[in-house]
Structure 1
Amino acid sequence: MRVKRIKIRKTFDAIADRYILANHILSFGQDICWRKKMCEKVSEHLKTNNLVLDIATGTGENFKYCPSKFKTKIGLDPARNMLLKARERFLDVTFVEGMAEELPFKNNLADLILVSFGVRNFENRQKAFREFNRVLKKDGIVAILEFFPMENGTLLNKAAAFYIYKILPYFGGLITGNFDAYKYLSISIQNFVSPEIMKMELEQNNLKVVEKEKIFPDVYIFVAKKE
C-alpha cells in the first residue's frame, strides 16, 4: 500500500501545473458541469453548514462550485505541488497535506465531505470510509463524483471507452508533458470497482446512500448520509 501512496503522490505532483486545464480540455468542459451537478445534489440534503472538507482536493477545484456559505473550508490532499496551486487559488480555504485513510481531524466535526475523482486512488477505501464516518457529524453528508469502468453495450459506451482508455492518455500526456501520469489515470478507471460495490462499501461503514446517479456513461454521483 505504501508503494501506491508514493506513486499517486508523484503522479499528481508531476501534473499539478496543468491539471485543471487538462481536465477541462479532455472532458470538453464536462468536468465543470459534473461538479456543479454534485453540488446541486448536496444542497438538497445538507442541514448545517459549519465545516466542509474536500478530500483529494487537488488544486481545490470543488471550492469554485460547491457551497461558499460554510464558515470553515478545508481541503486535504497528499500531493504537495497540488496544494501549492490550491493555496494560490483559494485564500479563504485551509489546505492540509494528508491521506483519506488517516484524517487529521476530530470526531463529529464536518457537515459535508466532498470527493471528486479521488476515491479510486485511495489506498484502502474501507478505511477511508470509516474515517469519513468518524469525522462527519450525525446526518452529515458525503458527496462523491467518480469515474467507473465502462459498461458494455451501447455504441455511446463503446465510443466513450475507446476515448478514455486509448485517446485520453495520449492527449493528457501532450497537454501536461507527462504521458505516464495519464496512462495511470486511465488504468485506474479501467481497474476500479463497480458502482454497486462502492455503494455496498459506503453502507457497510454507516454511510447510507440516498442518491446514486449516472450522469455520463462512466461517471456517477453518490450522496450518502451518516446515520
Structure 2
Amino acid sequence: MVGELFNSIAERYDLVNRLTTLGLDRRWRKKACELALEHLIAERPKILDVACGTGDMIRCMKKGLEKRKATAEFYGLDCSERMLEVARRKVPFARLVIGSAEEMPFPDGSFDLVSVAFGLRNFPDREKAISEMHRVLKKDGLLLLLEFSRNGSLLGRLAWFYTKSFVPFVGGLLTGKEEAYEHLWRSIKVFPSPEELSEEFREFGFESLLLRWCFPRIAFIMVLRKV
C-alpha cells in the first residue's frame, strides 16, 4: 500500500515538498548530512539511503562529501518504482534498488552509513526495519534519521496545525491525491517521540550520538552508531 501511495504522487513529490515546507526540507536535509558526516570516519564510505524516494538525500550527501573533497559509493532502496524512476534521473551515479526496508537485499556489514529521511514512519514493521538497518551496517557504522514528530513547544504546535490543515489541501490540489497527504499527518500523530525512538534503537544495538530539532520543530535529526 505504501508503494502504491508513493507511485501515485512521484512526479510531483518534489514540488509539493518545496511548496509545503517553504523550501525548509532542503535545509533540513543539508543539516542532517552535515551532522552525520562530522561523525563519519571511513575514507571512501559506502552509503545507503533507505526509502530514498526521488534521491534528494543521496544528492545532498554527495554535495556534503564534495565539500570535504571526499567520495563515496551510493546506494538507494525504495519500495516505489515510480519514485526510483525520478531518482535515476537525479542521481544517476547511485545504485538504486527496489525493495523493502524489512528485507534488504544487501549482505551483513555492507555500509558505513545508512540514512532514512521521512521514511521510518511508513515502514509496516518498524522493528524489523531497525533490525535490518543494524544488520547491513558495519560495526561502528552510523545511522542517520531525519523524521517528522510532534513537539510540545508553541512553535511545534503551530507547525503541527499547519501540517494537519494546510499540507493535505496543497498536496491534494497539486497531485489529486489528498489521501496521500492525509496519511502524512496521521502517521506523524501516532509516531513515537524522538526520545522514545532513541530507546527503541538502543534495544536493537544502537547508541544515540545526537538529537536535534529543526526549525520550526516539526522535524528532527538523530545520529546513532551501531555498537
Confirm whether residue 20 of structure 1 aligns to residue 20 of structure 2.
no
Aligned length: 219
Taking the aligned partners of 2:167 and 2:122, their CA distance within structure 1 comes to: 18
Q: TM (normalized to structure 1)?
A: 0.93
Q: TM (normalized to structure 2)?
A: 0.93
SS in structure 2 at match of 1:114: strand
> What is the aligned-residue identity percentage?
38
Aligned to 2:113: 112
SS in structure 2 at match of 1:101: coil
Confirm whether residue 171 of structure 1 aligns to residue 173 of structure 2.
no
User: In structure 1, what residue type is equivalent to 2:145?
Assistant: I
Spell out, residue by residue over 1:141-187, the C-alpha distance to the aligned partner (whole angstroms, 9 max, x if none): 00000001x23352x23321211111111111112221111111121
User: In structure 2, what residue type is equivalent to 1:196?
Assistant: E
Q: Report which stretch shifted further, 55-64 or 68-77.
A: 68-77
Aligned counterparts, 1:132-147, within 5 A: 132-147=133-148
Unaligned runs of 5+ in 2: none
User: In structure 1, what residue type is equivalent to 2:168?
Assistant: P
Aligned to 1:162: 161
Aligned to 1:61: 56
Aligned to 1:95: 96
Aligned to 2:30: 36
User: In structure 2, what residue type is equivalent to 1:145?
Assistant: L
Contact 1:51 1:70 in 2 (8 A): no
Taking the aligned partners of 1:87 and 1:75, their CA distance within structure 2 comes to: 10
Confirm whether residue 204 of structure 1 aligns to residue 203 of structure 2.
yes
Confirm whether residue 51 of structure 1 aligns to residue 50 of structure 2.
no
Unaligned runs of 5+ in 1: 1-6
How far off is 1:118 after superposition? Answer: 0.3
Confirm whether residue 80 of structure 1 aligns to residue 74 of structure 2.
no
